[in-house]
Amino acid sequence: MVSRVIPVDVFDLVVFGGTGDLARRKILPGLYIRFRAGQMPEESCIIGAARAEMTDEGYRAFVGAAIAEFVAKDKQDAAVIAKFLARLAYVSIDATGENGWAKLAGLVRKGVVRAFYFSVAPSLFGDLAERLHAHGMADPESRIVVEKPFGRDLASAKALNAVLAAHFDEGQIYRIDHYLGKETVQNLMAVRFANILFEPLWNAQYVDHVQITVAETVGVGGRGSYYDQSGAMRDMVQNHMMQLLCLIAMEPPYKFDPDAVRDEKLKVIRALDPVPPEDIVRGQYRGGPRKDGSGEPSYCEDAGDAQSRTESYIALKVKVSNWRWQGTPFYLRTGKKLRGRESEIAITFKEPPHSIFGDEEGWRENVLAIRLQPNEGMNLTVMIKEPGPGGMRLTEVPLDMSFAEALGDEGADIPDAYERLIMDVIRGNQTLFMRGDEVEAAWAWTDPIIQGWEARGDKPRGYDPGSSGPEDALMLLHRDGRRWREIRE
């Protein structure tokens, strides 16, 4: 299969926070890859804007080092890197003061697509929007890209939406959720809506339950005190997992159009039931010995707060109260320091209404598992006759589709979510970005859950590093006669 690269229009992209961790690891290496692929036109410019004093040359060296560190070696071509670096400039700027703004306004061209990536703390969003406006850069053609976290509750999300809305229309605001940029997540929509096969079964009549798992092996490490202000519910469930749930549960949009898709996602969020305390399990990883005999810090040690009640793990049973999903639970779990690194959505179908084979031992439910990482792909388990002359015995086989294998060279080249999303910003396509009302609706569902455990003073349950999470999380499914899928090491 030959990959088709359609160049985007010429653009100027200003990366506020252009010296930060996110810019260094994701945004700038991603732009280089798109440049190398021929998607970023050579006349485009990238302007790093951050607090540090630096020359253009200094910034090019900084970005060159980021490419050397974060781009695969076989994609590092000296000549292409030199061309790419020549498209970079740098402005030392203060989001909260006047320093650098006149220079930036002089650099950003009129007549090309202008995008401003706010890769800075959300507390600076208002200052940036205000100054872009004051210096004549907030015209109807410009777009802004904002990073997570988008608020820590409904009130703060509303406040952020309001400061952005003061100078930009909703159609100019791109709220990034990098999960939506993943190939598999978009494939979920293709599988659902470009095939006749699944959609008739995609409802409570045929789907027993859905599991969404985002498991990490790493702890909060050096980000401990920062993470301690949020926890798994705010950091993962309110945004990424909610988005995945929406894509599974939503009705077919009338068109693959940004607002049509986002309207349907919003309806799902609004249909979510409040979650009672017995349907929530929060956990916190304990310390433990490492294989080399040294000690591994507990969550509280990582967070620098021996009394912390923030969860590094959460499992929830979520109900979507609408006609399609009445009676089909969605089980969500995410955690740090678990036994494997895995993101997966698994749709478990119901038993056939009648077994003509009698009480067949080998029988298993059909499961459609959609892997986001590692090895993006899909796997559908089906029952077949066990080969051989031993009578009619059933066995389960996977119909496995790993995109990297199925798509050959192109599959191996699946773009990183950031690459795709930045190109979507330039193309002006908001389908894979969260709309303001979606984010607010997600917080409106999340707030009472968090307020509930805060008011009760709930403590998270301890779990061992390298485990599958707290024991109580197993019970959440056991009591419904179900089991979590195994998190693979």
Q: Which residues are catalytic?
A: 240
Contacting range for ligand NAD; rule: CB under 6 A; set: 30-38, 115-123, 311-319, 474-482: 115-123
Rounded to an integer, what distance in angstroms lies between the CA atom of residue 393 and that of residue 411?
A: 36
Examine residue 238 and tell whether it contacts ligand NAD (CB under 6 A): no
Q: State which residue, 3 or 96, has the beta carbon closest to ligand NAD.
A: 96
Examine residue 229 and tell whether it contacts ligand NAD (CB under 6 A): no
Residues binding ligand NAD: what is the number (CB under 6 A)? 23
Rounded to an integer, what distance in angstroms lies between the CA atom of residue 459 and that of residue 453?
A: 8
Q: State which residue, 18 or 181, has the beta carbon closest to ligand NAD.
A: 18
Q: State which residue, 234 or 485, has the beta carbon closest to ligand NAD.
A: 234
HEC string of the chain equals: CCCCCCCCCCEEEEEECCCCHHHHHHHHHHHHHHHHCCCCCCCCEEEEEECCCCCHHHHHHHHHHHHHHHCCHHHCCHHHHHHHHCCEEEEECCCCCCCCHHHHHHHCCCCCEEEEEECCCHHHHHHHHHHHHHCCCCCCCEEEEECCCCCCCHHHHHHHHHHHHCCCCHHHEEECCHHHHCHHHHHHHHHHHCCCCCHHHCCCCCEEEEEEEEECCCCCHHHHHHHCCCCHHHHHHHHHHHHHHHHHHCCCCCCCCHHHHHHHHHHHHHCECCCCHHHEEEEEECCEECCCCCEECCHHHHHCCCCCCCCCEEEEEECECCCCCCCCCEEEEEECCECCCEEEEEEEECCCCCCCCCCCCCCCCCEEEEEEECCCEEEEEEEEECCCCCCCCEEEEEEEEEHHHHCHHHHHCCCCHHHHHHHHHHHCCCCCCECHHHHHHHHHHHHHHHHHHHHHCCCCEEECCCECCCHHHHHHHHCCCCCCCCCCC
- Return the structure tokens found at 213: 């798992």
Contacting range for ligand NAD; rule: CB under 6 A; set: 10-18, 209-217, 294-302, 458-466: 10-18
CB of 50 to ligand NAD, least distance (A): 3
State which of positions 324-363 bind ligand NAD (CB under 6 A): none
CB of 122 to ligand NAD, least distance (A): 6
Rounded to an integer, what distance in angstroms lies between the CA atom of residue 379 and that of residue 397?
A: 10
Q: State which residue, 368 or 372, has the beta carbon closest to ligand NAD.
A: 372
- Nearest residue to ligand NAD, by Cβ distance, number only: 20
Contacting range for ligand NAD; rule: CB under 6 A; set: 114-122, 259-267, 305-313, 377-385: 114-122
Examine residue 184 and tell whether it contacts ligand NAD (CB under 6 A): no
Examine residue 22 and tell whether it contacts ligand NAD (CB under 6 A): yes
CB of 23 to ligand NAD, least distance (A): 6
CB 180 within 8 A of CB 243: yes
Contacting range for ligand NAD; rule: CB under 6 A; set: 20-28, 308-316, 334-342, 389-397: 20-28
Q: State which residue, 175 or 485, has the beta carbon closest to ligand NAD.
A: 175
Which residues are CB-neighbours of 181 under 8 A, at least 6 positions away? 416, 417, 418, 419, 420, 421, 424, 432
Rounded to an integer, what distance in angstroms lies between the CA atom of residue 131 and that of residue 97?
A: 9
CB of 165 to ligand NAD, least distance (A): 19
Q: In what order do the strands lie in the sheet with 394-402?
A: 394-402, 377-385, 367-373, 342-349, 207-215, 330-335, 313-318, 280-285, 461-463
State which of positions 46-85 bind ligand NAD (CB under 6 A): 50-52
Q: State which residue, 421 or 449, has the beta carbon closest to ligand NAD.
A: 421
CB of 226 to ligand NAD, least distance (A): 8
CB of 123 to ligand NAD, least distance (A): 9
Question: Residue 485: how many CB atoms within 10 A of its CB?
Answer: 18
Q: Which of 64, 122, 329, 415 binds ligand NAD (CB under 6 A)?
A: 122
CB of 332 to ligand NAD, least distance (A): 20
Examine residue 241 and tell whether it contacts ligand NAD (CB under 6 A): no
Contacting range for ligand NAD; rule: CB under 6 A; set: 14-22, 196-204, 373-381, 440-448: 14-22
Q: Which of 7, 45, 56, 94 binds ligand NAD (CB under 6 A)?
A: 94
CB of 70 to ligand NAD, least distance (A): 12
Q: Which of 120, 144, 188, 191 binds ligand NAD (CB under 6 A)?
A: 120
Q: State which residue, 122 or 335, has the beta carbon closest to ligand NAD.
A: 122
Q: State which residue, 122 or 470, has the beta carbon closest to ligand NAD.
A: 122
Examine residue 96 and tell whether it contacts ligand NAD (CB under 6 A): yes
Examine residue 95 and tell whether it contacts ligand NAD (CB under 6 A): yes
Q: State which residue, 162 or 260, has the beta carbon closest to ligand NAD.
A: 162
Examine residue 225 and tell whether it contacts ligand NAD (CB under 6 A): no
State which of positions 128-157 bind ligand NAD (CB under 6 A): 147-149
Binding residues vs ligand NAD (CB under 6 A): 16-23, 50-52, 93-96, 119-122, 124, 147-149
